[in-house]
Every structure is written in C-alpha cells, then in structure tokens.
Amino acid sequence: MYQDIKPLHPDFHGNVKLKPLSNFEFSAKAHAIPVVGPEFREVAREYVIAFTPIGESGEYGAMAALGLREGENLYLKADGMWDATYVPIFLRRYPFLTSEMENGEAIVCIDEEAVKTLSSEDGLPLFENGEPTADIKATAQTLFRIRDDAKRDREWLKQVAAAGLLRSVSASAELPSGQSVSMDGMWVVDEDKLREISAEQAQEWLKNGVMSLIYAHLLSLGNLPGLASRLRARETDKPAA
C-alpha cells in the first residue's frame, strides 16, 4: 500500500501542500491491514480481527481481514469509496506513517506516491517557515499514539501466545463458479482453551483490559460469513469474459 516511504522533512516537503483524501483507491490490493486495541470495539462490528506472526520474533500483531485472496480488498467500492461504517485508523492516517530508527526512536514518514497524487496549490501545507504546521503536529501525535498502541498489543498477545491460546485457522469461501478460495496464516484465540485459564490469569486480564480485547476479537469472527458473501457478490458482479 505504501510504495515510496521517505522521512517527512522541510528540506524535501517544505513547499508541499496536500489535499485531503477523497477515496481509498490506494488500498485496492490490501487484503489485510493492522488494527490496534483501542479500535477493536468499532472494528469488531464490521470486520474479522485476527492475529499474524511478526517476523521470527515470536510476537503477534492484530489485523483486520479485508479479503480472502492476496491483493484483493473487498471493502473497496468500484468508485474508490469505503463499504463500511468504520474506517480503520491505518487507512485514515494515509499517506503518513512512522518508521523505527536503530536507536528505538520513531520518525514521521510519508508516501512519496501520495505526494505526487495529492499535491495541490489549494491543499494544506505540511510546513510553514520550516516548521511543521499544527495539522502535521496533530497527525504526528496520532501516529506516535498508534505506535504505542501497537506495542501494547504485541505485549498482551505475547502473554496470550505463551498461555497456548492461539491456533492457526484458514478462512474459506465457495464461489459461484464452484471454485473454493481460502486464506491461510490467520491466528485466533482458542475459546475452549480460554475457558481453562486460571482464575488468577482471568482476573488479571479483566483488570488490565486484555479480556475485553479478546472478546472483541472472538465476536469479530462472526463477520467471516459476511466476508465470504462479499467475495461471492464480487464474483457474481464480474462482467462475462
């Protein structure tokens, strides 16, 4: 989704003005996107929340499934609009993101491809007199908060994984053509094993909010049939070859 990431800096972007996003076409090939704990409740109403391994670190991150095939976003309409009430923050923050430095700090970056497509003389400036504008400062605060939220998610998911509660599953759908499509690599909380955790562990997770995140995730799995329906509808609407 991000194609050409560069640090946001007045030397490169001092005169750049960006118009607001008017559509979400940039996410056309995103079949899954990261989500963070504070938005689980909203995400769980319309998306499937699953977990995915992060490299070989043994950590997991949270994601919202947007499709059942690589490179296909089933929530994107033909006109580029979003087909859900809630738009995850990962999409709303585009074209900005943070990048980790070797010293553990993070810097704000931007997708240069968006600079090309969103630049406009009547857009909002990124810098004024070499300093970030109030809008960019607010954006940076949001980005760093997302980064912190994602770190917290990795920590509680590490506890859940260590307790042996995660299992790998596949999501599948039968297409009108009779073809079967499946998406692997999704990890979910095993509800049966969750019931077997100790009272002390359950109490701890209730107090620190982890249990509510787990239940939001489990609730979201009920959206899987809807995701499959989106795929079948898209296949049905395809023009005949």
Q: Is residue 207 part of a domain?
A: yes
**Gap between the Cα atoms of 232 and 213, Å rounded:** 30
Q: Is residue 240 part of a domain?
A: no
Q: Is residue 137 part of a domain?
A: yes
Tell me if 170 sits within 8 A of 184, measured CB to CB: yes
Q: Is residue 235 part of a domain?
A: no
Range of the domain at 151: 5-229
SS3 state of residue 45: coil
Q: Going residue by residue through the chain (241 aa), what tens digit of pLDDT does each one get?
A: 899 999 999 999 999 999 999 999 999 999 999 999 999 999 999 999 999 998 777 899 999 999 999 999 999 999 999 999 999 999 999 999 999 887 878 999 999 999 999 999 999 999 999 999 999 999 999 999 999 999 999 999 999 999 999 999 987 777 777 777 877 889 999 999 999 999 999 999 999 999 999 999 999 999 999 999 999 998 887 765 5
SS3 state of residue 60: strand
The conformation of residue 123, written as its DSSP 8-state character, comes to S
Q: Is residue 122 part of a domain?
A: yes
Q: How confident is the model at residue 170, as a pLDDT?
A: 82
The total number of structural domains in the chain stands at 1
Q: Is residue 237 part of a domain?
A: no
**Beta strands across the sheet bearing 59-65:** 32-34, 59-65, 48-54, 180-189, 166-174
| Helix H or strand E segment including 82 | none
Q: Is residue 93 part of a domain?
A: yes
Q: Is residue 195 part of a domain?
A: yes
